[in-house]
Chains A and B, each alone.
Chain A
């Protein structure tokens, strides 16, 4: 990576870090949810983008992070940090237990199996007494939006650094090889089972911490919102929009889509969801491999990159 680009990234991060000092409360709250979405998209990128396994189980890891933190804090009066660790351990164990059998499935079969899991989990937690059954749990109230914001930003930085390491490491090469051709990867001595499971566990780690932060931030959890599979869909959309299998694509995707949605909601609240859908359809046609590929393509071939993508769909 060029040093100028690194300086730019550090500057952007510093700029983001001072938002709670200079920004309005609304801006900080919008910032928290955007940063957490970026973490979720980036985590999904590890298993979905790099490894090529379209996981719909990430909303389960999110929910376990939510409940791990909530139960620790509301039922055992443990500090927030301990809660986050509990949630993360729960989610990583779940990724390990589920990954070993389910990661044998490929493509749409893997997607369906993991989707089933998130539906099942909501039902399970509705019947667990210590998790507040279907009523949910209330966490102690804190008025510290600045803290939540900086925590989310810190988590995002950690997550991006982790993905950057993956993209450079032998581990990451193995994941990409699995995505491109799993049999070939195996014949090149890649321990595919271990690599896939590791990818899922890493994805679960960051996803669950984001869940834990969000739980304490909104101070209320219930099964339906903790194990919401539409949240998983948003992770996929943001990653694909930004560029799956790239280091910064999912973050940019999450930032851009969150901003677009917020602007549309302010402008015409009734048709916002509709217009949001249109934005995504147009984006997928013009840049099927995300913003990251668009940036590289425009630099390489200019406007003909866009025309080429249109022609591909025979529009």
Chain B
């Protein structure tokens, strides 16, 4: 559907891993502006490794372009400065800093104070609960609020592509639904989202397209609709009987 639009992130035949141990084998993946793309797969499939490769924390080879620019020679700070921002697994908030200080850390590469103030207004508008808790220590909040704070912190960097690792981990389904609704709002404000999830139900409920990863390879791709109706996907990830 986005065939004419230049892709925001374009990964082709990417290999990568930890030192001598290869984890990713010829990964192809494309994200267009304004899209929500889900990457699903079991534990150990290589999902987080792919995120690390994109963030340039681990070595990788192959093709990886962000808005036409080659990502491979960049450092993690330079990737961040291109506004390709990650919400890490386990949230990794600064627990002894307040919500507001955490958000300020997200803006730490930006200099324009007026623009940062505008970002604060935007983020607090999206997540009014955080505005109430701005002076509270991030470590004292509930899991759902912490996840909101982690997303908000990443939004303070004005991302063009937001990569969220295991957003639903350890959260109640009702909280996950709230967060998914927020992601949908964020996407409408032209931030593309790359959602890396084990919770396939959650991921496909907001995503436009999806990729299924197994042992470091992309094994299936399609629209979220197609994938959630696909029998092998249903059998493997949605807990449905094959052919049911």
Residues in chain A within 8 A of chain B (CB atoms): 170, 173-174, 176-177, 180-181, 183-191
* Residue among A173, A183, A186 making CB contact with B104, cutoff 8 Å: A173
Residues from 31 to 60 in B contacting A, C-beta threshold 8 Å: 55, 57
- Give the docked Cα–Cα distance between A190 and B76 (Å): 9
B153 adjacent to chain A (CB < 8 Å)? yes
- CB < 8 Å: which of B76, B93, B95 contacts A186? B76
CA–CA, A181 to B146, complex, Å? 15
Which residue of A181, A183, A188 contacts B108 across the interface (Cβ within 8 Å)? A188
In the complex, what distance in Å separates the CA atom of A189 from the CA atom of B107?
Answer: 9
Q: Do A187 and B105 contact each other (CB < 8 Å), given the known contacts A180-B96, A181-B95?
A: no
A189 & B92 in contact (Cβ 8 Å cutoff): no
B92 in complex: contacting residue of A173, A174, A181, A191, CB < 8 Å: A181
Task: State the Cβ distance, B25 to closest chain A Cβ, in Å.
Answer: 25
- The winner among B55, B93, B106, B109 for most chain A CB atoms within 10 A is B109
Q: Are B109 and A189 in contact (CB under 8 A)?
A: yes
In the bound assembly, the distance between CA atoms of A189 and B74 in angstroms comes to: 12
A186 / chain B contacts, CB cutoff of 8 Å: 57, 76
Q: Contacting A184 at CB < 8 Å: which of B76, B81, B93?
A: B93
**A187 touching B88 in the complex, CB below 8 Å, given contacts A177-B94, A180-B97, A181-B95:** yes
Q: What is the chain B residue whose CB lies nearest that of A170?
A: B108
Shortest 5 CB-CB distances between A and B: which pairs?
A189-B80, A184-B92, A180-B94, A191-B77, A187-B88
Please measure, in the bound complex, the distance between the C-alpha atom of A24 and the C-alpha atom of B57, giving whole angstroms. Answer: 60
B157, CB-defined interface residue at 8 Å? yes
A185 neighbours in B (Cβ, 8 Å): 105
Residues of chain B contacted by A181 (CB below 8 angstroms): 92-95
- Taking the closest CB of chain B, its distance from the CB of A234, in whole angstroms, is 27
Q: How many residues of B contact A (CB 8 A)?
A: 24
The CA-CA distance from A191 to B94 in the complex, in Å, is 17
Q: Are B77 and A187 touching (Cβ within 8 A)?
A: no
- The answer to whether A188 and B97 touch across the interface, beta carbons within 8 angstroms, is no
B86-136 with Cβ < 8 A to chain A: 86, 88, 92-97, 104-106, 108-109, 111
Chain B residues near A177 (CB, 8 Å)? 94, 97, 105, 108
Given A189-B81, A191-B77, the answer on whether A184 and B94 have CB atoms closer than 8 Å is yes
CA distance A186 to B108 in the complex (A): 11
| Min CB gap B56→A, angstroms | 11
What are 24 contact pairs spanning A and B, CB under 8 A? Answer: A173-B105, A173-B108, A174-B108, A177-B94, A180-B95, A180-B96, A180-B97, A181-B92, A184-B93, A187-B80, A187-B86, A187-B88, A187-B92, A188-B105, A188-B108, A188-B153, A188-B157, A189-B76, A189-B85, A189-B108, A189-B109, A189-B157, A191-B75, A191-B77
Q: Which residues of A contact B92 (CB under 8 A)?
A: 181, 183-184, 187
7 extra interchain contacts, Cβ-Cβ under 8 A, other than A174-B108, A181-B93, A184-B88? A173-B108, A188-B80, A188-B105, A188-B106, A189-B77, A189-B85, A190-B108
| Given A173-B105, A177-B108, also A187-B93 (CB < 8 A) | no
Closest Cβ neighbor of B80 among chain A residues: A189
Residues of B within 8 A of A189 (CB): 76-77, 80-81, 85, 108-109, 157
Report the minimum CB–CB distance from A283 to chain B (whole Å).
22
Distance of A167 from chain B, by nearest CB (Å): 13
Q: Which residue of B has the minimal Cβ distance to A173?
A: B108
